[in-house]
Structure 1
Amino acid sequence: MTVQVSSKQLLATVLRQVAGDDDAIDAATLDAAGDETLFEDLGFDSIALLEVLNRLKREHGIALDDDVLEQALTPAQLVSAIDEELRDVA
């Protein structure tokens, strides 16, 4: 049986994984933040966000261009980019 995971749930999992690997990101702040909170306010710098993109590609087969980070400044915006990529490959 395959369990469907939403893009929002998938991104939340990857963000928590990266936060756990990065001492500069507070996991409690991440869990309490809303979808419209800026990544910068969550403690994610450009290197951490590149790691998010790398994990999405490596572990989930979702390949987003690095330039998506220029437009996706919040988790909600990155979820939209993930959804768009999934529609394009479907």
Structure 2
Amino acid sequence: MFTLDGLREIMDATGGADDGVDLGGDIGATEFTELGFDSLAMLEIQARVKQELGISFPEDSATLLLRPDDLVAYVNQNLVEV
């Protein structure tokens, strides 16, 4: 099972968060853009998830997976299907 904490580790490793953003806080329902993650940072996050868990993302994932909770749910749904 992929968790928000697992995603936090990946997000922290990408270094995409704006200064002053506490990734340890309640970020699940906050849009990635509000956290400071641009499209390039999101591609890196998705690449790391794919590398670690073998999960691929659709081309339109930027419009579907707007918040950390969305991404975690998508990964877990696809882990079950594997």
- Between the two proteins, what is the percent identity of the paired residues? 32
Residue 48 of structure 1: aligned partner: 41
The answer to which structure, 1 or 2, has the higher relative contact order (CA under 8 A, 6+ apart) is: 2
How much is the aligned-residue C-alpha RMSD, in angstroms? 2.1
Is 1:63 paired with 2:59?
no
TM-score, normalisation: structure 1: 0.75
Q: 1:84 Cα deviation (Å)?
A: 1.1
From the two aligned structures, give the one with the greater helix fraction: 1
* Greater mean deviation of Cα atoms: 25-34 or 66-75: 25-34
Question: Is the radius of gyration larger for structure 1 or structure 2?
Answer: 1
Which structure 2 residues correspond to residues 5-84 of structure 1 after superposition, within 5 A?
Answer: 6-19=2-15, 22=16, 25-26=18-19, 28-84=21-77
Structure 1 regions of 5+ residues with no counterpart? none
Distance 1:52 1:27 in 2: 20
